[in-house]
């Protein structure tokens, strides 16, 4: 079963605009991670935010985490065509050994 | 470049057959995980191997089995293939960097399995 739910399922924006994706989860977590996947191939780790952190930045990426609402958001600023991909949030449940993924947001950047 | 490789890239099998998928990691980490990703879905955890023993399993039947070898390579075996086994199979291993969270995973490019 899926732990996380991403919203929206699909997002299409113009190049240069900002893209925001949201993720909700159900149980207590150690951390939350975001991954990118191009064209159904391997996932690329983007950023990890720990349960005691509220915000984290990496280049054009900004991630927030609200453990009281069990939600996270990923903001991609100044989007580029190369950002076109599917984005997944993944959580590591306390005491478990596995990543639990949501169903992903399919992001399309239009030139 | 994650240093995780998988073979083959694509595979076509028929229902009832058996398949072996392979994974190799350059990280030297002794943990490898396997995931199944159906079309349009997020990856689902199959199982994890640590020091050549299964160390956690998802909601998959026993016909999904695995092996891990001392050289950090790994295999996923699926017996009695069913049509619903058609998916992208991903293996993953923690990155080699000292201080990085072992929760972070480096994924291979995946093997696309089609069952006819």
- Local confidence band at A96 (pLDDT 50, 70, 90 cut-offs): low
| pLDDT for residue A1 | 44
Q: B19-76 pLDDT, tens per residue? A: 999 999 887 778 899 999 999 999 999 999 988 899 889 999 999 999 999 888 999 9
Rounded to a whole number, what is the distance in Å from the CA of A35 to chain B's nearest CA?
10
In this model, does residue A74 exceed pLDDT 80? yes
Q: A10-22 pLDDT, tens per residue? A: 999 999 999 999 9
Contacting residues of A for B2, CB less than 8 Å apart:
42, 44
A106, containing H or E segment: strand A105-110
Best of A43, A47, A95 to substitute, by most chain B Cβ atoms within 10 angstroms, is A43
Beta strands in chain B (DSSP E): 4-7, 10-13, 19-25, 31-37, 44-50, 53-57, 64-68, 73-78, 87-93, 106-107, 111-115
Rounded to a whole number, what is the distance in Å from the CA of B54 to chain A's nearest CA?
11
Rounded to a whole number, what is the distance in Å from the CA of A53 to chain B's nearest CA?
15
- What gap in Å lies between CA A63 and CA A73, rounded to an integer? 6
Omega before A8 cis (within 30°)? Answer: yes
A31, containing H or E segment: strand A29-37
Angle value at C-alpha B46, between A39 and A31, nearest 5 degrees: 75
Question: What is the count of residue pairs from A and B with beta carbons less than 8 Å apart?
Answer: 70
């Amino acid at each position: 079963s899926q732990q996380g739910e991403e919203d929206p399922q699909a997002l299409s924006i113009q190049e240069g605009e900002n893209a925001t994706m949201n993720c909700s989860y159900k149980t207590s977590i150690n951390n939350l991670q975001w991954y990118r996947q191009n064209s159904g191939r391997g996932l690329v780790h983007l950023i990890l935010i720990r349960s005691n952190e509220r915000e984290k930045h990496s280049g054009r990426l900004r991630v927030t985490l609200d453990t009281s609402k069990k939600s996270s958001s990923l903001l991609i600023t100044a989007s580029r065509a190369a950002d076109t991909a599917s984005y997944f949030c993944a959580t590591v449940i306390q005491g478990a050994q596995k990543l639990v993924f949501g169903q992903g947001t399919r992001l399309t950047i239009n030139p | 470049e994650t240093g995780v490789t998988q073979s083959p890239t694509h595979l076509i099998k028929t229902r009832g057959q058996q398949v072996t998928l392979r994974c190799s990691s350059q990280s030297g980490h002794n943990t490898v995980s396997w995931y199944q990703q159906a079309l349009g879905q997020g990856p689902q955890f199959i199982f994890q191997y640590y020091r050549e023993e299964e160390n956690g399993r998802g909601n998959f039947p026993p016909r999904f089995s695995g092996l891990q070898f001392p050289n950090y390579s790994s295999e996923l075996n699926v017996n009695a293939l069913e049509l619903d086994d058609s998916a992208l199979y991903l293996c993953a291993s923690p990155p080699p960097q000292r201080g990085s969270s072992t929760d972070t995973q480096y994924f291979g490019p995946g093997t696309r399995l089609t069952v006819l």
